[in-house]
A = this chain, B = another copy of it.
């Protein structure tokens, strides 16, 4: 079991740190990637080091990918390499968990048509326009895809993510 968190500057700190520390609690090896390798800073000022750039990601290496929210997804969704990776993760059936604005990346990658998901309130229309069956729930699980809305959903989000690591 190996996990990957992909984010960028202005991530929502709790949506990054809580999954990250939770996976380490489970002793799951967890890589951090961003557009470029180096330090990224959250909206609340927490700093984390992305050891990998997007170009260094081997999509076959991971069993679980987490996409935190904040403003990071609006940068990541414009990155073609990011979108290619997302399509590869979906093709391989790798578990992908996105919270808050994280699902915006999935919209841009074109992987949500016909899928069930949730997201931050203001992103809901985008999901529907992408052919996604949106619902306003704390967590939505549809096969390999796990989505949540806001930091307060993190307990339910993590409960479902951890289940995927036990399969």
Q: Does A155 reach chain B (CB closer than 8 Å)?
A: yes
Residues of chain B within 8 A of A154, CB atoms compared? 21, 25
Q: Does A51 reach chain B (CB closer than 8 Å)?
A: no
Q: Does A1 reach chain B (CB closer than 8 Å)?
A: no
Q: Which of A94-145 contact B (CB under 8 A)?
A: none
Interface residues on A, range: 10 to 19
Cβ contacts A139-167/B at 8 Å (1 or 0 each):
00000000000010011101100100000
Q: Does A45 reach chain B (CB closer than 8 Å)?
A: yes
Residues of chain B within 8 A of A158, CB atoms compared? 21-22, 25
Residues of chain B within 8 A of A24, CB atoms compared? 155
Cβ contacts A10-28/B at 8 Å (1 or 0 each):
0001100110011011000
In the complex, how many angstroms separate the beta carbon of A155 from the nearest chain B beta carbon? 4
Closest 5 CB pairs of A and B: A24-B155, A44-B44, A25-B155, A21-B154, A25-B158
With contacts A14-B17, A21-B154, A22-B22 known, what are 15 further pairs, Cβ within 8 A? A13-B14, A13-B44, A14-B21, A14-B46, A17-B151, A18-B18, A21-B155, A21-B158, A22-B155, A22-B158, A24-B155, A25-B158, A25-B159, A25-B162, A44-B45
